[in-house]
Structure formats: structure tokens, C-alpha cells
Amino acid sequence: MDFEKLTHIMRTLALEAGDKIMEIYNSDDFEVKSKSDDSPVTIADEAADDLISAGLRAAFPDVTLITEEQAGSHSLKADSFLIVDPLDGTKEFINRRGDFTVNIAYVENGVPTRGVVYAPAKDRLFITGADGQSYEEVGPFEKDTIGTLNKISVSKPDNAGLLIVASKSHRDQATEDYINKYNVKDSKSAGSSLKFCLVATGEADLYPRVGRTMEWDTAAGHAVLSGAGGHVVRFDNHEPLTYGKDIYANPFFIAYAPGVELKTA
């Protein structure tokens, strides 16, 4: 894989998809449909998916592409693959809450090594460089010119007072019970893969996910967090969260800055 090319293409496609999504977000009305798993989908998810898939297939015709919106891709298997969630946080998008992201990642032998997470309504873009380090680009974003890239890194957590972030739309009692095992200084909710990025920049120390996600929801955020020095482990045994699993479904997990003294489930 040519990582310079990959980084460049991921960034450009994320920005283009973000523009498309914002056009629809800012329009008066859009239809909300229900998928077979009962989750919502809009024309923004579909338009962003078309754009990103076409761009990735043209640039990397030999690399397997898995995307949330193409059910046929979910039965593909490869050691290394591209994985896309064109609009993560669809519920946030529908409710016009701003916490939604475009996600493109590259997985090598079970490990997400490169990714971009773009939150167009928040003007935040997080990306792993060709060097594998993670950066936040300072907006406004231009498609043809990469702006200022600030290297990001995780916090040095204080276990006497941790900053915790968890889901906005899927926050239940099990999540609260687990959070209550820690000494919490501040706990906030955020939608989508932005939660990984908040841990990556040090805005949060810990993101526990006691609820279902799919690999396309997490791969790009996971790559950004890894490139900033963070870790993502399974909730049940604290082993690393891996990719390319059966039907691309994730177990519950914990994303955190090293130094957090993890509690058992």
C-alpha cells in the first residue's frame, strides 16, 4: 500500500462526502428510511457512500472494500481491506445535533493502521498521516491543499478524576454502571466515532462502549486513536479489538489513554 496516496485519497473523499452531507443537512427536509436492522438511513448516507466507494475503487481497484451501506460487501473477506462508514451517527444527523462523521479506514491483518474521521458540522478533521501518527487539521478545509496539521496525542490520565465520554444515542444502565466504577471528574456524551477522537486529543481519557457497534463504526476512529498513542480493547478480556471478524460485528470495547487503570466488566 502506498500510504502517501492513501492518506491523500482518504482526506479528499472525506471532505467531498462531508460537503454532500452538509448540503442535505442544511436542506429543509430529507426522508428517513429504515434499514433491515431497523437503523435509520437517509439520502445523505447513500450519496456519501456512492461518492467514497467510487473514489476508493478507482484509486485502489485491487483492495477489498467493505462499506456499511452495501450489504453485499459484508460477506467479503481479505487480510487487508478498506472499510467505510459514510455517515456515522445517523441519529445525530437526523436530529440535527452535529455529532456525525465520515469514516474511512484501512485495516492490515486485523489492525486498523490508517484512518480519517471528518465531522463536517463541527469543522473537525482527524487523520493518520503516511507516518502512522495522528493529526488534527485546522479548518477551513481545502480539498486540493492540506492545511495546518497539528499532531495529537492522548492525555496523561489522573485516575483520581477521569474524563469520560460515552454514546449520546445508545447510553444505557450498563454503560452508567461501568462508568460508576471509576473516579469520574467529568462525563460527557457524544455521537459517532468522534468519541475516539476526543480520547485521541486528550479531551477525554476513556470511552467505554457497552453496546453493539460494527467494524465500520470504529475502524477509522480506532486508527486515529492508535496513532495518537491510545488503545482499544475488548470489554470482556481487555485483549486488543481486532478487525475482519465474522459479519464485521464488534464485541463491547473500551477505548482509553494508557495510564487509565481499567476496571473489569
Ligand X SMILES: Nc1ncnc2c1ncn2[C@@H]1O[C@H](COP(=O)(O)O)[C@@H](OP(=O)(O)O)[C@H]1O
Summarize as ranges the residues that interact with ligand X (CB under 6 A).
39, 68, 85, 88-90, 167-170, 191-192, 212-214, 217
Least distance to Mg ion, CB of residue 263, Å: 26
Residue 163 annotated in ligand binding: no
217 binds Mg ion (CB under 5 A): yes
Residue 191 annotated in ligand binding: no
Q: Which stretch binds Mg ion (CB under 5 A): 153-161, 171-179, 217-225, 257-265?
A: 217-225
Amino acid (1-letter code) at residue 67: T
Alpha carbon of 110 to those of 4, 125, 134, 171, 185: distances in Å? Answer: 21, 24, 19, 28, 34
Alpha carbon of 70 to those of 16, 30, 66, 75: distances in Å? Answer: 19, 21, 8, 10
Of 92 and 136, the one with the shorter C-beta distance to ligand X is 92
Least distance to ligand X, CB of residue 132, Å: 25
E strand intervals along 70-153: 80-88, 101-108, 111-119, 124-128, 134-137, 149-151
Question: Within its chain, how far is the Cα of 169 from the centroid?
Answer: 15
Query: Is the Cβ–Cβ distance between 52 and 115 less than 8 Å?
Result: no
d(CA 226, CA 207): 14
Q: Which stretch binds Mg ion (CB under 5 A): 41-49, 104-112, 213-221, 226-234?
A: 213-221
Of 88 and 205, the one with the shorter C-beta distance to Mg ion is 88
Query: Is the Cβ–Cβ distance between 97 and 84 less than 8 Å?
Result: no
Q: Which does 8 bind (CB under 5 to 8 A by kind): Mg ion, ligand X, none?
A: none
Residues 84-143 contacting Mg ion, CB under 5 A: 85, 88
Binding residues: 68, 85, 87-90, 217
Please give the annotated binding residues for Mg(2+), written as ranges: 68, 85, 87-88, 217
